[in-house]
Amino acid sequence: MKKLIRVTTVPLSLDKLLDGQLSYMSNYFNVTAISSDSDYLKQCALKENTGYYHLEMSRRITPIKDLISFIKLTKYLLRTKPLIVHSHTPKAGIISMMASKIANVPLRLHTVGGLPLMEASGIKQKILIFVEKLTYKCATNVYSNSAGMYDFILENNFINKDKIKMLANGSTNGIDTSYFSNSNITEATKEELKDSLRITKNDFVFVFVGRLVGDKGINELVLAFKKLLVYNTNIKLLLVGHQEDQLDPLSEATLNEINSNRKILSVGYQNDIRPYLSISNCLVLPSYREGFPNVVMQAGAMDLPSIVTNINGCNEIIIDNINGLLVKSKNCYELEKAMFKIFNNPLLYDKLKSSSRGLITSRFEQKKVWKTILDEYRELENDLIYNNELKTITKKYYPVNLRQINFSNYLLSLLFLFFNSNK
């Protein structure tokens, strides 16, 4: 079987954003997962029944360590000779696409999920744009996981149109609607969880799932919720996710409110978010930027309407006033108004709720997304064979000597590490 390598900066992306996909692909390829954190990576590989290769790639400012990772990855690719290297997340993208280019990997694929440069400005943005363009230049094919991201990349001339596409209806992994279903959570489980969190039958629960950081809109969410309590005390805010203290931390005022407000329930990271979605009434994701957020699909599959910011990805899952509400990004007043509207208008709420699951199952079923990606791999491989490129590559497969590597592009891209804050 031909070799397929999937690369992410941290194993959490393999575990949550690509859950089940690597196992599916292992029926057709010899799959290897590459990421940092060896223990977590090994755990993911065992779950997916694939091979793995530990490559430390810090999300923080570690230029020397990343240069070492780049050299290690290049050596690994020269030795293993994969047909496909497919990367996700910005830092994994720049390191693996450059290494794959130098190692002459035939198919170098990069999926764009989110772009930190969309929230940057000045010299910082210019450097991020340079690195993004370099990543795309080294790749043979680039994929956007949302229509909005696709348009943004083309409108800003990051890449030629014939080199980028969006597969299926967007999304990197789709959603397993048989797993994310309220029917899998018993009433006894719901009641036990509600009791432990002191949620009563009269409470309307807003839930957020994700990293507790600034660009997820948590500062605005907490402030909007605090203001809503003036109108109705029978509401609660459930925060499911870990707090990051170094990358884009929350404001001190927000942290104080989370810790002191008894109506805000912060439960930390959870391996299984389904029970928390099942006891909630509405998902709120006031993020500044997204690729194609899985949690919005997961909540919809669990019959929850969503309030999301009107940004790419989110506005491709949520149709305003059909299965949720769209609000402006970074706008606390609009967020507060939408939250009030959804818990204060039972007829609207029931309408949004009734459409939620159907709009997910019809558009983002997981196995359809996997099949689309597999078909893309096969089509690209067939194109190589048709053009006689595989024979040419086989004759002089991986001829590059590491002493011949020109590190100039990589050294320039190290500037990226000082500004990037990956997902």
Pair (46, 142) in one structural domain? yes
For 292-328, how does the pLDDT look when each residue is reduced to its tens digit (9 = 90+)? 899 999 999 999 999 999 998 999 999 999 999 999 9
Average the pLDDT over each of 13-17, 81-85, 217-221, 389-393 and give the range with the smallest value.
389-393
Q: Single out the residue in 336, 361, 386 at which a domain terminates.
A: 361
Asked whether residue 403 is assigned to any structural domain, the reply reads: yes
Pair (163, 99) in one structural domain? yes
For 144-200, how does the pLDDT look when each residue is reduced to its tens digit (9 = 90+)? 988 888 999 999 999 999 999 999 888 899 999 999 999 999 999 999 999 999 999
Asked whether residue 151 is assigned to any structural domain, the reply reads: yes
Pair (128, 207) in one structural domain? no
Pair (32, 114) in one structural domain? yes
Pair (291, 255) in one structural domain? yes
Average pLDDT, the chain: 90
Which residues lie closer than 8 Å to 200 by C-beta, 6 or more apart? 194, 234
**Average pLDDT in the 68-82 region?**
96
DSSP per-residue letters across 62-127: -HHHHHHHHHHHHHHHHHH--SEEEEESHHHHHHHHHHHHHTT-SEEEEEE---GGGG--HHHHHH
Pair (103, 197) in one structural domain? no
Asked whether residue 263 is assigned to any structural domain, the reply reads: yes
Pair (343, 389) in one structural domain? no
Find out whether 152 and 295 touch, Cβ atoms under 8 Å.
no
Pair (107, 207) in one structural domain? no
Asked whether residue 89 is assigned to any structural domain, the reply reads: yes
- Number of structural domains found in the chain: 2
Helix, strand or coil, per DSSP, at residue 164: strand
Pair (282, 357) in one structural domain? yes
Structural domain including 191 reads 182-361
**Average pLDDT in the 231-252 region?**
91
Pair (217, 326) in one structural domain? yes
Q: Single out the residue in 314, 333, 361 at which a domain terminates.
A: 361
Pair (27, 88) in one structural domain? yes
User: Residue 44 pLDDT more than 70?
Assistant: yes
User: Residue 377 pLDDT more than 60?
Assistant: yes
Q: Single out the residue in 361, 388, 409 at which a domain terminates.
A: 361
Asked whether residue 423 is assigned to any structural domain, the reply reads: no
Whole-number pLDDT of residue 69: 93
For 243-268, how does the pLDDT look when each residue is reduced to its tens digit (9 = 90+)? 988 778 999 999 999 999 999 999 99
Whole-number pLDDT of residue 421: 45
For 346-371, how does the pLDDT look when each residue is reduced to its tens digit (9 = 90+)? 999 999 999 999 999 999 999 999 99
Pair (302, 380) in one structural domain? no
Asked whether residue 252 is assigned to any structural domain, the reply reads: yes
With bands split at pLDDT 50, 70 and 90, how would you rate the model's confidence at 273? very high
Helix, strand or coil, per DSSP, at residue 28: coil
CATH number for the domain spanning 245: value is 3.40.50.2000
Asked whether residue 101 is assigned to any structural domain, the reply reads: yes
**What angle separates helix 90-102 from helix 63-80, to the nearest 10 degrees?**
50
Asked whether residue 273 is assigned to any structural domain, the reply reads: yes
Helix (H) or strand (E) holding 242: none
Q: Please state the separation of Cα 320 from the chain's center in Å.
A: 22
